[in-house]
């Protein structure tokens, strides 16, 4: 009989902490519903005390999903726990995730405390959270760099206090797989209550040295029965362990004898949805969900795969939801085909919203032969821009070899029309200078990334931008078949986010 591994998804908490990945409540609900379809056991929906937005999102996600446990993060502080319990009031299954740093650097520099006092605070927090919910998870922050003997004392104390899950985060992504595996093994062997099944251990690994998935698997092989993961591995700094990697490792290596509840065919649509809503591109060679993950380019590999896919493929792309036979959308595709494709990608649309998206789809399909999944998701997100106060009305740029680029731009600002022109060192420079002739603020372009075009010169180009204004950095995104327009749209996206 195989063992069950619980999947704790923290895309909406650790993942959403990444600068530029912030979602509004409606988008978070969309992701949460997709995570439910994917089959995750726990959704970490936010850190309610951190902002009214996070608080509200936890409430709304709690209402929107049924089966997964909804989890809210807190520090080991009573006020945090009160607010988290309040945010979870609508959840059908709820969990409070509380914790404190346990490594020497955390104890000394963060808390100016000592080991005994930290255990007391950990126990007090778990007991306090237990007044609100039965299911309490404790995290020992920086457990990766916490001495095992002391960590075992912390874990034993919080299990005694009522913790149902104890999270052993490798917060800094420092551990080697063997070291992390041995840590879990040590705890399994030395903590009363774990072997008796009073609580389970959870992994939470960061990818600073590229070892997050290896460390997670080492933890699982040594007894952890929950893994904390994110879609596409997004998360603080180099990210977290990616859900898709753990799920497919266990599916490919049946001999390990551990199952999850993940419907792996929903992996790809979920990955596309998260990437699109968070404007976070997936690296092309990313395991499982990258554009090249199943692309065989060398002649030898192609020859082998054509003879028999087993020569070079360890998993079937269909098992992760990549459907080669998916209907290709073109200018001749109807509204129903678009609705179906959106639904496969996890976006349900009807009525006026579908009509508006279909009109945009037709415009795009006129410009490019085939509309792919990225384009469809981009169109689905385009209606977010409709609510913006500043909108691009038109853009005309004259450019070429040996001449200065000149741009004329028209903006609609809260219903009022503005026009300006400028010349510059290239089409993007000219267009942004023209834009700045209307929006006269001290804005500095900090980062400008053009995402690789996947297929054909008619494809949609995607631009990610960071603009500094009034001491804050704002992240913007634009997508268009014209890369200069995409750049201006990304800049305007930043402007729309400025704090007034």
Sign of the torsion angle spanned by Cα atoms 67, 73, 74, 76: positive
DSSP tag of 49: G
Decide: helix, strand or coil at residue 21: coil
Nearer to Zn ion, 14 or 459 (CB): 14
- Report the site for ligand KIV in 108-147 (rule: CB under 6 A): 139, 141
For ligand KIV, give the closer residue by CB, 15 or 427: 15
Beta-bridge partner residues of 75 = none
CA–CA distances in Å: residue 47 to residues 63, 339, 384, 404, 500: 17, 34, 24, 50, 25
Q: Which of residues 186-245 bind ligand KIV (CB under 6 A)?
A: 204, 206
- 225 versus 341: smaller Cβ distance to ligand KIV: 225
DSSP helix, strand, coil percent of the chain (3-state; round to 5): 45, 20, 35
Q: How far from the centroid of its chain's Cα atoms is residue 119's Cα?
A: 32
Contacts of 213 (CB under 8 A, 6+ apart): 205, 207, 233, 241, 242, 245, 246, 249
How far is it, in rounded angstroms, from Cα 276 to Cα 309? Answer: 30
In the bound state with ligand KIV, the residue whose beta carbon lies nearer, of 23 and 73, is 73
* CB of 141 or CB of 429, closer to ligand KIV: 141
Among the listed residues 419, 374, 369, the one whose alpha carbon sits nearest the alpha carbon of residue 395: 419
Q: 33 vs 145, which CB is nearer to ligand KIV? A: 145
Please state the closest distance from residue 138 (CB atom) to Zn ion, in A.
14
Binding flags for ligand KIV, 158-187, as an x/- string (CB under 6 A):
---------x-x-x----------------
Residue 94 interaction partner, one of ligand KIV, Zn ion, none, beta carbon < 5-8 Å per kind? none
Interface with Zn ion, residue 14, by CB under 5 A: yes
Distance, in Å, from the CA atom of 163 to the CA atom of 97, rounded to the nearest integer, reads 10
Question: Contact between 44 and ligand KIV (CB under 6 A)?
Answer: no
Is residue 44 near Zn ion by the rule CB under 5 A?
no
- Which DSSP string corresponds to 245-293? HHHHHHHH-GGG-EE----GGGHHHHHHHHHHHTT-PPPTT-TTTSTTT
Q: Of Zn ion, ligand KIV, none, which one does residue 139 interact with (CB within 5 to 8 Å by kind)? A: ligand KIV
Partner whose binding site includes residue 62, from ligand KIV, Zn ion, none (CB under 5 to 8 Å by kind): none
Number of residues that bind ligand KIV (CB under 6 A): 8
Q: Which is nearer to Zn ion, 44 or 489 (CB)?
A: 44
- Interface residue with ligand KIV among 7, 11, 14, 491 (CB under 6 A) is 14
Which of ligand KIV, Zn ion, none sits in contact with 33, Cβ below 5 to 8 A by type? none
Buried b (16+ CB within 10 A) or exposed e, 183-210: bbbebbebbeebeeeebbbbbbbbbbee
Neighbours of 258 (CB within 10 A): 18
Looking at beta carbons only, is 143 or 378 nearer to ligand KIV? 143
CB of 170 to Zn ion, least distance (A): 9
What x/- string results for residues 257 through 276 when contact with ligand KIV is judged by CB under 6 A?
--------------------
Footprint of ligand KIV (CB under 6 A): 14, 139, 141, 167, 169, 171, 204, 206
Q: Which stretches of the chain bind Zn ion, using CB under 5 A?
A: 14
């Amino acid at each position: 009989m195989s063992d069950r591994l619980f999947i704790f998804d923290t895309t909406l908490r650790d993942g959403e902490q990444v600068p530029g990945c912030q979602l509004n409540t409606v988008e978070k609900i969309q992701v949460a519903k997709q995570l439910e379809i994917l089959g995750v056991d726990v959704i970490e929906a936010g850190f309610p005390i951190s902002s009214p937005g996070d608080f509200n999102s936890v409430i709304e996600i709690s209402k929107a999903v049924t089966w997964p446990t909804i989890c809210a993060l807190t520090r080991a502080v009573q006020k945090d726990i009160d607010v988290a319990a309040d945010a979870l009031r609508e959840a059908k299954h709820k969990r409070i995730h509380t914790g404190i740093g346990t490594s020497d650097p955390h104890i000394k520099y963060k808390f100016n405390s000592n080991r005994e006092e930290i255990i007391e605070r950990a126990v007090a927090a778990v007991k306090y959270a237990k007044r609100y919910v039965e299911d309490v998870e404790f995290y020992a922050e920086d457990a990766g760099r916490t001495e095992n003997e002391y960590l075992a004392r912390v874990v034993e104390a919080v299990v005694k206090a009522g913790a149902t899950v104890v999270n052993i985060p490798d917060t800094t992504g420092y551990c080697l797989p063997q070291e992390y595996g041995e840590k879990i093994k040590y705890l399994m062997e030395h903590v009363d209550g774990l072997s008796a099944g009073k609580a389970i251990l959870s992994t939470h690994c960061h990818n600073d040295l590229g070892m997050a998935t290896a460390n997670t698997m080492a933890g699982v092989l040594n007894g952890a029965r929950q893994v904390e993961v994110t879609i596409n591995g997004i998360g603080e700094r180099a990210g977290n362990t990616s859900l898709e990697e753990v799920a497919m490792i266990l599916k490919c290596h049946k001999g390990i004898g551990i199952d999850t509840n993940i419907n792996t065919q929903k992996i790809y649509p979920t990955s596309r949805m998260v990437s699109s809503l968070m404007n976070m591109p997936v690296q092309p060679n990313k395991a499982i969900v990258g554009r090249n993950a199943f692309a065989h380019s060398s002649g030898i590999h192609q020859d082998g795969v054509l003879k028999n896919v087993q020569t070079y493929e360890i998993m079937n792309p269909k098992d992760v939801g990549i459907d080669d036979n998916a209907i290709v959308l073109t200018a001749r595709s109807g509204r129903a085909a678009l609705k179906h494709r959106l639904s496969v990608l996890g976006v349900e649309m009807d009525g006026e919203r579908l009509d508006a998206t279909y009109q945009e789809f037709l415009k795009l399909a006129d410009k490019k032969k085939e509309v792919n999944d990225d384009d469809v998701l981009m169109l689905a997100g385009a209606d977010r821009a409709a609510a913006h106060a500043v909108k691009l009305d038109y853009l005309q740029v004259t450019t070429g070899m040996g001449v200065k680029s000149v741009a004329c731009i028209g903006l609609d600002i809260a219903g009022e029309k503005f026009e300006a022109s400028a010349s510059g060192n290239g089409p993007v420079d000219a267009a942004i200078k023209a834009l700045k002739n209307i929006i006269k603020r001290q804005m500095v372009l900090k980062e400008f990334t053009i995402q690789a075009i996947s297929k054909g010169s008619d494809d949609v180009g995607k631009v990610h931008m960071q603009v500094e204004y009034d001491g804050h950095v704002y992240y913007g995104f634009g997508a268009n078949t014209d890369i200069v327009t995409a750049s201006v749209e990304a800049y305007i996206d930043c402007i729309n986010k400025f704090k007034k």
